[in-house]
Structure 1
């Protein structure tokens, strides 16, 4: 396999995980990191940490992973595009839909591969769920409900819970259902005294008639990542924390006489699937590496898809009713 030279922008919590994967990724030579913070070490996995972006761009890079705060994504992405470097940018792809479209068009015009780090697409439970939906297990999809709750992460300062967390659910829901959103609306709260929302309840409608609901917050003292997909034949429940997928089949009831009344469904068999559990971040990196080598998107979240996610997130924000804690 041809060796690609890869670098990393940003060495925070997520950046450190990217560095770990890059340092051992087959077919990739990890050459260095850009991070101007004084608190980061001088070397990571034996590679230099550069404080000057121009110096970093002179390392002879084929592609770069951007794990800097969202507010810097447009600037960093633009610099990489101007240098002819492919980029995998952590989600959301940019702070606004306008900035997202700028990056999308810029990379397309320069013939560069742009990917977005919507890591849930690479979770074994959701990948298996999508495959089973394509195979017809659920029949028509009626509803997709997600719950993404947990304590506040201190690393987040520039966006609220919608753009930081709910973007996961926006992307995975459209991807699993293979339907774009037609509309969304939401209710948000500001309970922690920060300028950004910290809790959201959103509902939406997809192009195929599937309805969605999303409970997302930073105010729950336990971590939950659950996707419930209800169809005409039963329900798939994906837990992306444990990478478990369970199927609840609608029971088959013999009916000798039908008076024409709605009978609903009944409990049937329950199956917990055995899955191949590859680390999602590794799978994401492998897909981006392969896309760069092929010169076309192969199994990645494109900048176009990332921009669509930010547009839906902004619709949630603009169409939401908000309650703010006051003195």
Structure 2
């Protein structure tokens, strides 16, 4: 079987990682790169480096990895769709709901496969958590709480922390629980002097009643990527920086110390850091998209799912919460 011919559009920080994975992916040949700034980081490896997407399409590719700034997703994605090229587009799908809808329609109307690079879905800790939830290890899922914070990334200029980071948490929460968001409210803040928000605290509810909350910012010297999933049988804590998954199990051993028992919500059980395989998430993401293009069973983030994430995220962007007023209905809170 001939290898799939793949192209990479955008050779920046993420593009370099995509080039590395695509260069070693089974059944795929990375044949060309597109970047109007040229191959500044030396990732082409002797392959052609084009200035435009049209040149890549003329060169002949089966699919393309799109790793350009979010504001360019619609332009680049539409050209690929019109050229009959499948595409994996870095998250978020687009910088607006309208453009995300246009992209989803562009690929669907032509029968093309489109995916969104929500890489956290492929983190080993969350992959294992989802499988165990499906197996009933937690019973009913009561709550999902995520914390995603760290220093400000100077390379991000076209969107705020909601679209750049919180979309990770929105997507992974819906995916790991297999539920949809039915409502969400949020507060945002501007603290770094940029036009986009750099802090958000959101809370919502999923279709089966699970309560969720997301704390996300670009303002902390501490880098944290934590997902806490609480259910009727215990709690999973997934650290997606280390890909560790820990299970706090509800137990049957009663606490006999009266003072201490006041601080225990349930009887104390075992705490286990689970031993799980840890393949690189980016490689797993690419393997799944490759399989989807080949017509095999694959778990990709579809454009429809990416659109749902953008819609939920946009419910959380209505203005900085540091402009609080005492007038009813004027505070920057969002809901649906």
Aligned to 1:260: none
- Whether the aligned pair in 1 keeps the contact of 2:38 and 2:49 (CA below 8 Å) is no
In the TM superposition, residue 2 of structure 1 has moved relative to its aligned partner by: 3.8
In the TM superposition, residue 323 of structure 1 has moved relative to its aligned partner by: 1.5
**Ranges in structure 2 where 5+ consecutive residues have no aligned partner:** 256-263, 325-336
In the TM superposition, residue 42 of structure 1 has moved relative to its aligned partner by: 7.1
Could you say what secondary structure the match of 1:238 adopts? strand
Aligned to 1:15: 15
The number of residues matched between the two structures is 316
Could you say what secondary structure the match of 2:272 adopts? strand
- Whether the aligned pair in 1 keeps the contact of 2:253 and 2:269 (CA below 8 Å) is no
Aligned to 2:185: 185
CA-to-partner distance for each residue in 1:131-169, whole Å, 9 max, x for gaps? Answer: 000110111111000000100111100000000000000
In the TM superposition, residue 271 of structure 1 has moved relative to its aligned partner by: 1.0
Distance in 2, Cα, partners of 1:141 & 1:123: 20
Could you say what secondary structure the match of 1:215 adopts? strand
Q: Equivalent residues in 2 for 1:201-240 (5 A)?
A: 201-240=201-240
Could you say what secondary structure the match of 1:268 adopts? coil
Distance in 2, Cα, partners of 1:112 & 1:123: 26
CA gap 1:39/1:85 in 2 versus in 1, 3 angstroms: closer
- Whether the aligned pair in 2 keeps the contact of 1:186 and 1:321 (CA below 8 Å) is no
Query: Displaced runs of 4+ in structure 1, greater than 3 A?
Result: none
- Whether the aligned pair in 2 keeps the contact of 1:91 and 1:116 (CA below 8 Å) is yes
CA gap 1:42/1:141 in 2 versus in 1, 3 angstroms: closer
- Whether the aligned pair in 1 keeps the contact of 2:151 and 2:222 (CA below 8 Å) is yes
Aligned to 1:258: none
In the TM superposition, residue 56 of structure 1 has moved relative to its aligned partner by: 2.0
More displaced stretch, 44-53 vs 12-21: 44-53
CA-to-partner distance for each residue in 1:19-60, whole Å, 9 max, x for gaps? Answer: 110111110010111110257257612322211332222111
- Whether the aligned pair in 2 keeps the contact of 1:22 and 1:28 (CA below 8 Å) is yes
- Whether the aligned pair in 2 keeps the contact of 1:191 and 1:324 (CA below 8 Å) is no
- Whether the aligned pair in 2 keeps the contact of 1:87 and 1:115 (CA below 8 Å) is yes
Distance in 1, Cα, partners of 2:233 & 2:217: 31
In the TM superposition, residue 181 of structure 1 has moved relative to its aligned partner by: 0.4
In the TM superposition, residue 118 of structure 1 has moved relative to its aligned partner by: 0.3
Aligned to 1:200: 200
Aligned to 1:259: none
Is 1:277 the equivalent of 2:268? no
Is 1:290 the equivalent of 2:291? yes
Is 1:69 the equivalent of 2:69? yes
Is 1:92 the equivalent of 2:92? yes
Distance in 1, Cα, partners of 2:43 & 2:249: 52
More displaced stretch, 42-51 vs 31-40: 42-51
Could you say what secondary structure the match of 2:315 adopts? helix
Could you say what secondary structure the match of 1:228 adopts? strand
In the TM superposition, residue 297 of structure 1 has moved relative to its aligned partner by: 6.9
Aligned to 1:323: 322
CA gap 1:14/1:323 in 2 versus in 1, 3 angstroms: same
Distance in 2, Cα, partners of 1:86 & 1:285: 13
- Whether the aligned pair in 2 keeps the contact of 1:42 and 1:49 (CA below 8 Å) is no
